[in-house]
């Protein structure tokens, strides 16, 4: 068994006690449990890549029924996170790796959580360059930090769409899907602006290119007006590109922004003409 995985023999010492110095993720399992055999290797893989930020402890409920009873284990696999001697979070069932990773990221704040939160605040306040500087530092230290990479893509998106697309390459994280889609949409529109030859002929083609230009120049009000007009005239143009562009703008601005509020109703009505 890997060094960062503990096969529990003394729960109080190896889990409760140790959790006062490092978070301990406890996997309650049994030999006869098929889902346990699926989840166990996932947890071991993630523990191996955690760099000591947390450790994994496994408890065979057949060998330690008293521990299962003490911690009210009613079905397995069951996973509990111990921090400072108490259960801080938990889940049951054989979740897929991405879902376990997502749970861990939320339940065990990473060493760069504060910097990422600061960067989000800077982006919201309009300081994307400052946020990018913070996030580049995080990604340099933690190249596997998907949240930092996606947020960096968001921070540099309007200045350098190709670099933003590179920043999110290979990331498939459901919790970050909106931000990933926004980066992907804007990078694609930037590519069309640079090389519009791939756009099919249509009465809305020039208006669509003009709307893209306004979007990338951060004239969001004008871009939304144009994109919504194109939706009304030929919604399916460029694989529903105008709808996707509008959604990207709304995400960049936020739902409470006055420009978003001004155009949301027209956008909705255009979709259902």
The predicted-structure confidence for 50-83, as pLDDT tens digits, reads as follows 878 899 999 999 999 999 999 999 999 999 999 9
- State residue 17's pLDDT score: 94
Active site residue 246: no
Burial class of residue 223, CB neighbours in 10 A (0-12, 13-18, 19+): buried
DSSP letters spanning 138-187: HHHH-TT-HHHHHHHHHHHTTT-HHHHHHHTTT---GGGHHHHHHHHHHH
Domain extent listing, the chain: 5-107, 113-175, 195-271
Overall CATH class of domain 5-107 = alpha beta
The predicted-structure confidence for 85-142, as pLDDT tens digits, reads as follows 999 999 999 999 989 988 988 888 777 888 999 999 999 999 999 999 999 999 999 8
- State residue 208's pLDDT score: 98
- State residue 3's pLDDT score: 59
Active site residue 36: yes
Q: Which CATH code for domain 113-175? A: 1.25.40
Catalytic residue among 36, 95, 164, 249: 36
Per the CB < 8 A criterion, the answer to whether 54 and 104 are in contact is yes
- State residue 87's pLDDT score: 94
The predicted-structure confidence for 143-196, as pLDDT tens digits, reads as follows 888 899 999 999 999 999 999 999 999 998 887 899 999 999 999 999 999 999
pLDDT at 272 over 60: yes
> What distance lies between CA 221 and its chain's CA centroid?
28
- State residue 184's pLDDT score: 97
- State residue 11's pLDDT score: 94
The predicted-structure confidence for 220-257, as pLDDT tens digits, reads as follows 999 999 999 999 999 999 999 999 999 999 999 999 99
Segment 2-19 mean pLDDT = 86
Segment 255-267 mean pLDDT = 95
- State residue 114's pLDDT score: 85
Higher-confidence residue of 4 and 219: namely 219
Catalytic residue among 25, 33, 94, 245: 33
């Amino acid at each position: 068994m890997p060094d960062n995985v503990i096969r529990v023999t003394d729960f109080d010492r190896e889990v409760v006690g140790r959790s006062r110095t490092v978070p301990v993720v406890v996997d309650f399992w049994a030999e006869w449990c098929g889902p346990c055999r699926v989840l166990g290797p996932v947890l071991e893989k993630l523990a191996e890549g955690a760099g000591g930020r947390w450790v994994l402890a496994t408890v065979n409920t057949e060998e330690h029924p008293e521990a299962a009873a003490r911690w009210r284990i009613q079905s397995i696999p069951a996973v509990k996170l111990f921090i400072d001697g108490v259960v801080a979070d938990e889940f049951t069932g054989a979740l897929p790796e991405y879902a376990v990773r997502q749970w861990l990221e939320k339940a065990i704040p990473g060493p760069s959580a504060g910097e990422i939160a600061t960067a989000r605040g800077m982006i919201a306040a309009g300081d994307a360059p400052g946020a990018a500087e913070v996030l580049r530092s995080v990604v340099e230290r933690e190249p596997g930090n998907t949240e930092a990479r996606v947020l960096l893509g968001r921070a540099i998106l309007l200045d350098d769409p190709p670099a933003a697309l590179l920043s999110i390459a290979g990331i498939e994280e459901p919790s970050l899907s909106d931000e990933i889609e926004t980066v992907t949409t804007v990078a694609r529109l930037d590519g069309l602006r640079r090389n519009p030859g791939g756009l099919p002929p249509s009465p809305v083609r020039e208006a669509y290119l003009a709307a893209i230009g306004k979007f990338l120049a951060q004239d969001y009000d004008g871009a939304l007006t144009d994109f919504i007009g194109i939706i009304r005239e030929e919604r399916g143009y460029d694989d529903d590109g105008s709808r996707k562009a509008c959604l990207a703008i709304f995400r960049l601005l936020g739902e409470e922004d006055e420009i978003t509020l001004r155009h949301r109703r027209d956008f909705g009505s255009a979709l259902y003409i």
